[in-house]
Chain A
Amino acid sequence: MTTQETLLGAPGAIVDPDMHFRQQRGLWSDAWRRLIKNRLAMLALLLLSVVIFVAFVGAYVGPLARYAPGDFTGIKQSGPTQHTWFGTDQLGRDLFARVLDGVRISIQIGLGAQVVIILIGFTIGAGAALGGKWSDNLLMRFTDIMYAFPDLLAIILVRSVLFGRHWPIISNPRVIVILAIGLVAWTTIARLVRGQMLSLAERDYVLAARSLGASRFRVVIQHMLPNTLGPVIVAITFGIPAAIFAEAALSFIGLTTPGSLGLLVSIGYNSIQVNVWNVVFPALAVATLMLSFTFLGDGLRDALDPRSR
């Protein structure tokens, strides 16, 4: 007797329990299972968690908090020692404390820029997809033009417009960089959201929701928005290392955010013949952050879009 016959034959067990379970699994738990199986993505997630924990929590307690980023240790340009794990810089400040501070800044800028990108990208993308032919044309041509602008140059221009103002929140250099990156880098998300929404508008379940009398607003928020999230999450995860890179590059070429990792690399590079470690550690920190987010993004893409595998 085969398994199927048993199941069909037994009263009360009409539905295969395993089948039932599989039906219960939605997009997200399915994706999560696939993500957990991806060893590289999990390694990246673990590494990121440790780095973020150490940078945001660890740096205030215990032996990690021996020095503050601005403290002078009294020894200049030393290599790694027992007390100063990453050595000291040209003014004798503890490089470990400064790198942790730089990681905090990079994470803040990486995530903060994504918030701005999501806000602008969703507004423009949804506006283009749902607002009719004219607004679609206008917004997408605008997006094309912004896309033609060389990224880093546009970020630099916006940054210099925002810099040196005495406006309440915008006087903070980190906020300025976040806004500058966000105001330039939203084009990918806008195109993605528009494309998703246009294809979703044709789906049966959207038609069903509409024919059941759901308002336009409800259809968009309840039914369409959640289904655009998968590709957007992937794009956002790749956007984080891009924002971290943009900020580090700006700081490296002299348009600095105080304390940033790019600035540390640049300072270290100026005295690379005296003390190699001042380049090595900040550079490794940038590379670790960018690599981890990239691996995580790869994992998420494979998990959320099984077709791309």
Chain B
Amino acid sequence: MRGPPPWTLMAAYTIRRVLWVIPVLWAVATITFFLMHAVPGGPFTQDKKVPPAVEAALERRYHLDQPLYKQYGLYLWDASHGDLGLSFQGDQDVTEIIRRTFFVTAQLGIMGLIVAVVLGMTLGTLSALNHNGPLDYIGVGFATIGASMPSFIVGSFLALFFAIDLGWFKLLGWGGPLQLSDVFTSSAYDWRKCVIPVIAISALPAAYIARVTRASVLEVLNQDYIRTARAKGLRETRVVTRHTIKNALIPVLTVMGPIAANLITGSFIIETMFSIPGLGRETINAIVRRDYATIMGTTLFFTLIVTMANLLVDLAYAAVDPRIRYR
């Protein structure tokens, strides 16, 4: 008996995975909504007492006077249309805030990701090819220490040595364009401000990738087809580039989901630490101000990114590795 052709399985799998994003986002929006409404004290609870009339007016403005289920329904309805409401601070559109600040966070995250992948894969491959040699010890040492060093500590030490003592790089602020219209303005760029935040945010993912790469290259090197490749007289460089690295890439691909989540966590810390006007710092500020609308919006947005990253990884994984069954 023959099963259905593989492409239909792949298509069904893709559709199922894409549709699964919807209940996840709904559940996260719901959990966040009720958590935020369970927080003691509202956004207008301040040291200075606001006159009751003003408070009532403010609550009406942000629909806080409505019953909870109506607020919830309204929120879901608006959110599903891409409208995340108004920030309690300065009446800005939350969607607009996210768009503006994520532009910076995305630069930080993408640069961090590139550094992490290049550094991690290089170190991991070198470690594996030099199994139990000195290079391997250096690589494993870096991977272990990097994986257990909080980014704010890496950031502090980098700032201390390279910015304060040596004066090579600058701290505070972001060295890339802050908005889309600045992309072609050369004065918006200052690479000396980017180096330390990018390295600090990529240290942990790099260590993680190095670890996975090393394990996976070692595994591939033990496979029969590598022995075959060597036996038929291929040069070692060709064995490594053509046969090893390509196959070792698959396990590395699978950790990209956790790494996306990790870069987001990193952005909270690194942006707060170096005063970078990105979405991470905006989220922390919103939490400190109890700005419900902004917190819910950014939480939803970050969840969307992590879910999308996981989705893309799973689909890429299924596409790359023919051994995967589409359950």
Interface residues of A (CB under 8 A from B): 141, 144-145, 148-153, 156-158, 160-161, 163-165, 241, 245, 248-249, 252-255, 262, 265-266, 268-269, 272-273, 276, 279, 283, 286-287, 290-291, 293-295, 298
> Once the chains bind, are B287 and A156 in contact (CB under 8 Å)?
yes
Query: Quick one: given A149-B31, A153-B302, are A290 and B261 in contact (CB under 8 Å)?
Result: no
Interface residues of B (CB under 8 A from A): 23-24, 27-28, 31-32, 35-36, 38-41, 144-145, 147-150, 152-153, 156-157, 159-160, 164, 261, 264-265, 268-269, 272-273, 283-284, 287-288, 290, 295, 298-299, 302-303, 306-307, 310
B41, B265, B288: which has the most chain A beta carbons within 10 Å? B265
A150, A276, A279: which has the most chain B beta carbons within 10 Å? A150
List, in ascending order, chain A residues with CB within 8 A of B288's CB.
Answer: 254-255
The interface residues of chain A, by DSSP majority, are classed as helix
Contact sample, A vs B, 13 pairs, CB 8 Å cutoff? A148-B24, A148-B303, A148-B310, A153-B299, A156-B287, A164-B40, A248-B152, A252-B152, A266-B152, A283-B153, A286-B153, A287-B153, A294-B147
Docked complex Cα distance between A248 and B35 (Å): 23
Across the interface, A286 reaches (CB within 8 A) one of B24, B150, B160, B307, namely B150
> Once the chains bind, are A276 and B160 in contact (CB under 8 Å)?
yes
> Once the chains bind, are A272 and B164 in contact (CB under 8 Å)?
yes
Q: B285 — nearest CB in chain A belongs to which residue?
A: A254
Q: Enumerate the 4 nearest inter-chain pairs by beta-carbon distance, A residue then B residue, closest first.
A: A290-B148, A294-B148, A283-B153, A152-B265
Docked complex Cα distance between A153 and B267 (Å): 11
Q: A269 — nearest CB in chain B belongs to which residue?
A: B156
The interface residues of chain B, by DSSP majority, are classed as helix
Query: Quick one: given A164-B40, A165-B40, are A252 and B273 in contact (CB under 8 Å)?
Result: yes
> Once the chains bind, are B265 and A279 in contact (CB under 8 Å)?
no
List, in ascending order, chain B residues with CB within 8 A of A276's CB.
Answer: 160
B145, B153, B306, B307: which has the most chain A beta carbons within 10 Å? B153
Docked complex Cα distance between A290 and B159 (Å): 21
Least CB distance from A115 to B in Å reads 22
> Once the chains bind, are A148 and B307 in contact (CB under 8 Å)?
yes
Least CB distance from B262 to A in Å reads 9
List, in ascending order, chain A residues with CB within 8 A of B31's CB.
Answer: 145, 149
List, in ascending order, chain A residues with CB within 8 A of B272's CB.
Answer: 252-254
List, in ascending order, chain A residues with CB within 8 A of B150's CB.
Answer: 245, 248-249, 252, 262, 286-287, 290
Query: Quick one: given A149-B303, A160-B39, are A253 and B153 in contact (CB under 8 Å)?
Result: no
> Once the chains bind, are B144 and A291 in contact (CB under 8 Å)?
yes
Query: Quick one: given A151-B265, A157-B32, A252-B269, are A265 and B147 in contact (CB under 8 Å)?
Result: no
List, in ascending order, chain B residues with CB within 8 A of A163's CB.
Answer: 39-40
Least CB distance from B52 to A in Å reads 22
Docked complex Cα distance between A259 and B156 (Å): 19
Docked complex Cα distance between A269 and B283 (Å): 21
List, in ascending order, chain A residues with CB within 8 A of B157's CB.
Answer: 279, 283
List, in ascending order, chain A residues with CB within 8 A of B160's CB.
Answer: 272, 276, 279
Docked complex Cα distance between A151 and B40 (Å): 22
